[in-house]
Amino acid sequence: DSGVTQTPKHLITATGQRVTLRCSPRSGDLSVYWYQQSLDQGLQFLIQYYNGEERAKGNILERFSAQQFPDLHSELNLSSLELGDSALYFCASSVAHGQGTGNTIYFGEGSWLTVV
């Protein structure tokens, strides 16, 4: 158990709909990251928040948005869903925002999204 909690574990929704994925980081971690894992694209970084502020942006679509709340939990909002958005979405957390010893990134178990 990494200590990163994600909900829901599984979600099936229709095209055009909007969903929200939720993440609670490990206790004490200020950074939250969102990753998308699909068969054809592998693990892709979407976005990072540190202590409530957006820190880095990756391959995140404009239809997707995220935020980190004062209690440090984060939500990833996916709207106007398309079939190709079906994937495993991971949240990860770390203590700080930089690199180096002690700032290990821990992953949650992921949220399976199926768009039909």
Partner 1 sequence: GQQLNQSPQSMFIQEGEDVSMNCTSSSIFNTWLWYKQEPGEGPVLLIALYKAGELTSNGRLTAQFGITRKDSFLNISASIPSDVGIYFCAGQLREYGNKLVFGAGTILRVKS
Beta-carbon contacts of 13 under 8 Å, excluding residues fewer than 6 positions away, are: 19, 81, 113, 114, 115, 116
Question: Contacts with partner 1: how many residues (CB under 8 A)?
Answer: 30
Amino acid at 17: Q
Nearest CA among 83, 79, 51 for reference residue 67: 51
Q: Is 22 in the site for partner 1 (CB under 8 A)?
A: no
User: Do residues 11 and 26 touch, judged by C-beta distance below 8 A?
Assistant: no
| Cβ nearer to partner 1, comparing 31 with 81 | 31
How far the first Cα of the chain sits from its last, in Å, is 31
Q: Is 7 in the site for partner 1 (CB under 8 A)?
A: no
Amino acid at 90: F
Restricting to residues 52-111, name those near partner 1 by CB under 8 A.
Answer: 55-56, 58, 90, 92, 94, 96-101, 103-110
Nearest CA among 103, 109, 86 for reference residue 30: 103
Looking at 31, 64, 66, 68, which residue binds partner 1 (CB under 8 A)?
Answer: 31
The region of 17-25, 38-46, 62-70, 76-84 touching partner 1 under the rule CB under 8 A is 38-46
Nearest distance from residue 69's CB to partner 1, in Å?
A: 20
Residues that bind partner 1 (CB under 8 A): 2, 4, 31, 33, 35, 42-45, 48, 55-56, 58, 90, 92, 94, 96-101, 103-110
